[in-house]
Chains A and B, each alone.
Chain A
Amino acid sequence: AQTVTQSQPEMSVQEAETVTLSCTYDTSENNYYLFWYKQPPSRQMILVIRQEAYKQQNATENRFSVNFQKAAKSFSLKISDSQLGDTAMYFCAFMKPIPNYGQNFVFGPGTRLSVLP
């Protein structure tokens, strides 16, 4: 069974600074996807970034980028130029595709990020 670990329950960062959230996972699969989701105080779940395991290049979405280390099973999220609106709970998620369009997900426990003015 897959497991996802986020070792930082809470973090804080000053506005405009850079912060890195860590995520490690355990799997014997070779084909999988990794995601970072953001859940602001509104509780809405928002997809931040996605990484396919077969891609060596790290995914980037504007101020958000990942450091994907497949051998180490590590998938950290870097937020550059942090903004007050980045304050949220961040979840790392592992997805294993299964036949016939199936997708099975496992989530980490989350990291609560506070961006300080």
Chain B
Amino acid sequence: DSGVTQTPKHLITATGQRVTLRCSPRSGDLSVYWYQQSLDQGLQFLIQYYNGEERAKGNILERFSAQQFPDLHSELNLSSLELGDSALYFCASSVWVGQYTFGSGTRLTVV
């Protein structure tokens, strides 16, 4: 157990639907990062939150949004889902640069 918890582990949904992925960071970590790993796009950084506020944005689609709550857990919301959104979504947390701990990921399948 890495200390970063992602739920659910697997998710199957239909095109056009909306889903929410959840991440609980390691205790004491203030930063949460979201990544998407798909077969054709590789690993992409989506967004980072630090202590409840957005701090960095990568290749995140407008259909996607995220937030970090006062208890530091984070949620990634994916809407108007398309087949191409099928991927493994990782969350990571850190308290310092370079000390990143990843969760085991949520595998999203859009059918």
Partners in one complex: yes
Does the CB pair B42–A107 fall under 8 Å? yes
Contact between chains at B43 and A110 (CB < 8 Å): yes
Contact indicator per residue, chain B 22-46, by CB within 8 Å of chain A (1) or not (0): 0000000011010100000011110
Contact count band on B: 20 to 34
Residue contact A100 to B55, C-beta cutoff 8 Å: yes
Chain A residues numbered 38-58 whose CB sits less than 8 Å from any CB in chain B: 43-47, 50
Instruction: Kindly state the separation between the CA atoms of A92 and B86 in the bound complex, as whole angstroms.
Output: 23
In the bound complex, residues from chain B placing their C-beta under 8 Å from that of A46 are 102
Cβ-defined contact, A97 with B43, below 8 A: no
Q: Mark A29-44, 1 if CB is under 8 A from B, else 0.
A: 0000101000000011
Residue of A nearest to B56 (CB): A102
Per-position 1/0 for A13-31, Cβ under 8 A of B: 0000000000000000000
* CB nearest to B107 among chain A residues: A43
Task: Contact check, A103 vs B92: say whether CB atoms are below 8 A apart.
Answer: no
State the total of A-B contacts with C-beta under 8 angstroms.
59
Interface size band for A: 20 to 34
* B88 lies within 8 A of chain A by Cβ: yes
- Looking across the interface, which residue of chain A has its beta carbon closest to that of B43? A107
- Whether A103 contacts B90 in the complex (CB less than 8 A), given A33-B98, A46-B102, A97-B97, comes out as no
B98 near A50 with CB under 8 A, answer yes
Distance in angstroms between the alpha carbons of A105 and B42 in the assembled complex: 13
Task: Return chain B residues, CB-CB under 8 Å to A105.
Answer: 33, 35, 45, 58
CB distance from A4 to the nearest CB of B (A): 10
B88 adjacent to A106 (CB under 8 Å)? no
Report which of B35, B45, B55, B98 forms a contact with A98, defined as CB distance below 8 A. Answer: B55
Is B50 positioned at the interface, with any CB of A under 8 Å from its CB? yes
Binding site for B on A (CB under 8 A): 33, 35, 43-47, 50, 91, 95, 97-98, 100-110
A-B residue pairs, 9 tightest by C-beta: A102-B55, A105-B45, A45-B102, A102-B56, A50-B98, A107-B43, A101-B50, A104-B56, A109-B42
